[in-house]
Structure 1
Amino acid sequence: MQRAFAAHLRAPDRCAPPPSIEDRRMGIYRDLIYNNIESFIAGGFPVLRSLFSDSDGAGGDERWHEMVRDFVYRHASRSPYFLQISEEFLHYLQHERGPRAGDPPFLLELAHYEWVELALDVSEAEMPSGLLQDGDVLERVPVVSPLVWSLSYAFPVHRIGPAYQPQEPPPTPTFLLVYRDRDDEVGFMEINAVTARLLQLAEGGESSGRRLLEKLAQEMPQGMQQSSGDELVEFGRQLLEKLLRLGVIAGLRH
């Protein structure tokens, strides 16, 4: 009885309800199950939701609801928590749904980008304590916050919306920094490959700001090393100070 009941709620059009239950009562459960799950997914992926709604109104929201209903039917969630429905939906898109006709080429990247905001918002990670919030960022060791994700996408996902839907990725990737600051607000910042690499080098939390910039300079093409030594140090100082103010750098230590 339970299996038949659950199968019908997952796929009302495919699986008949238990014959002993009045359809009016089954309808209450059908609506509650689907509407709750759909509302969480729509709230977690608002841009994706808007792209799967026909702008001319001819097809309404059929494509969106078809995708969500397929998720409810096909995906076996690993977590029972509503807050993790978005992660379950992302897993479904990445591993189970497969490409479909009419899907935008940036679908998976956009979905991941939108999921990151919720993931950081509810993350249980905390800023490390005992760090200095001011001081010389070059002489002290910058400690990157555990609430920071440095991301790279082929498409400029932070700009995508109903009015901008590129069909081909640009020549250079998009680097984005998503972080939760000291006030627990989630922020976004577009960065470049140099900043992304600097944060990667700083993740060990063992090198001073000056040493990090020296390592960065060693990795640059020979021509850039010769022409931009002092400029790189000054750029790095300003960048590290900015990241410290934002909470991307959790603090400094000796």
Structure 2
Amino acid sequence: MTALKSTQLTFANYIRDPRQFPAPAAIPAERLEVYRELFFNNVRGFLDNAFPVLQSLYCPEAWLALQQQFFAQYRCHSPYFLHIAEQFVSFLQDYALRPADPVFLAELAHYEWAELYVGTKKCEQPALTLAPDKLADSPLWLSELAMLAAYQYPVQNISKDFQPNVAGAYQYFLIFRDYADEVQFVSINQASLLLLNALSEQPGQTLAALTSALAEHLAPLTPAQLHAAALPLLQQFAKQGAIVMR
């Protein structure tokens, strides 16, 4: 390791966690403190803005401690605001809860990030509006501005006044940005989740192909019954922009 690389590593380690790592000898302490405050306060500001509901559930000291642990332990690979929020969600997947943390921490963080992600994502390919009356015979795509999610806590209702302590059955959601650029969270059942997930994994299928494949997993429902149930649902999603054609 070169002297420069060694100095950079020492500097980075100290910036992340000055309690665990020594300060670089060549840099005055007051300058190091300025650097650390700049780096940490940027990350802290990103997290405050991305997770307002989650922040509201903590006392300031506990929220700060969680932010500091993320800053010290997680190796972010991008400085962009949206990427830092996503990496915070990843950090929480393996995070050991402390007494100050709500049991739904990881799920609520994902829920808040999903709204941010869908609301700000740029569509790489232009989507064409799908006429709902043509849907039954058209190749279908799930919009690039849509995603599927499942939560065991009622994250859509969590607030300072409502904080559940026990996980329940999974609730499924289609999250998408509609034609008015508003983010929509639509509760769906397991059959609808399977249908939309199949479309996400194999885009360009027709409704007949989708329902025929799903019938194997949803017996005793027949493809015709699934088709009849799915058609009005997908027509509604097409009107809103969650289902598209290209």
TM band (smaller chain): 0.7 to 0.9
Amino acid at match of 2:154: P
Q: 1:3 to 1:233 in 2, by over 3 A?
A: closer
Q: Distance in 2 between matches of 1:27 and 1:206?
A: 54
Gaps of 5+ in 2: 1-6
Give the CA RMSD over aligned residues: 3.0
Q: Distance in 2 between matches of 1:72 and 1:201?
A: 37
Amino acid at match of 2:153: F
User: Aligned residue pairs: how many?
Assistant: 239
Matched, 1:12 2:18: yes
Match of 2:184 among 187, 200, 203: 187
Matched residue, 1:29: 35
Amino acid at match of 1:199: L
TM-score by length of 1: 0.78
Q: Distance in 1 between matches of 2:17 and 2:151?
A: 34
Matched residue, 1:107: 105
TM-score by length of 2: 0.80
Quote how far apart the aligned CAs of 1:36 are.
1.0
Q: Distance in 1 between matches of 2:108 and 2:156?
A: 8
Gaps of 5+ in 1: 54-60
Matched residue, 2:53: 47
Q: Distance in 1 between matches of 2:92 and 2:197?
A: 28
- Mean Cα deviation higher: 13-22 or 198-207: 13-22
Quote how far apart the aligned CAs of 1:249 are.
0.2
Once the two structures are superposed, what CA deviation does each residue of 1:176-214 show, in whole Å capped at 9, x if it has no partner? Answer: 111233455432211111221221233324543345445
Match of 1:147 among 128, 141, 145: 145
Matched, 1:240 2:239: no
> Would the aligned equivalents of 2:50 and 2:116 in 1 still touch at CA under 8 Å?
yes
Matched residue, 2:197: 200
Quote how far apart the aligned CAs of 1:66 are.
0.8
Amino acid at match of 1:67: L
- Partner SS, residue 134 of structure 2: coil
Once the two structures are superposed, what CA deviation does each residue of 1:68-103 show, in whole Å capped at 9, x if it has no partner? Answer: 1111111222223343111222222223x3233343
Matched residue, 1:58: none
Matched residue, 2:74: 75
Amino acid at match of 1:240: L
Q: Distance in 2 between matches of 1:28 and 1:212?
A: 57
Matched residue, 1:57: none
Matched residue, 1:178: 175
State percent identity of aligned pairs: 33
- Partner SS, residue 12 of structure 1: coil
> Would the aligned equivalents of 1:127 and 1:145 in 2 still touch at CA under 8 Å?
no
Q: Distance in 1 between matches of 2:151 and 2:72?
A: 30
Q: Distance in 1 between matches of 2:11 and 2:56?
A: 32
Quote how far apart the aligned CAs of 1:160 are.
1.7
- Partner SS, residue 231 of structure 2: helix
- Partner SS, residue 135 of structure 1: helix
Matched residue, 2:62: 63
Q: 1:197 to 1:17 in 2, by over 3 A?
A: same
Q: 1:130 to 1:45 in 2, by over 3 A?
A: closer
Amino acid at match of 2:114: V
Match of 1:159 among 157, 167, 184: 157
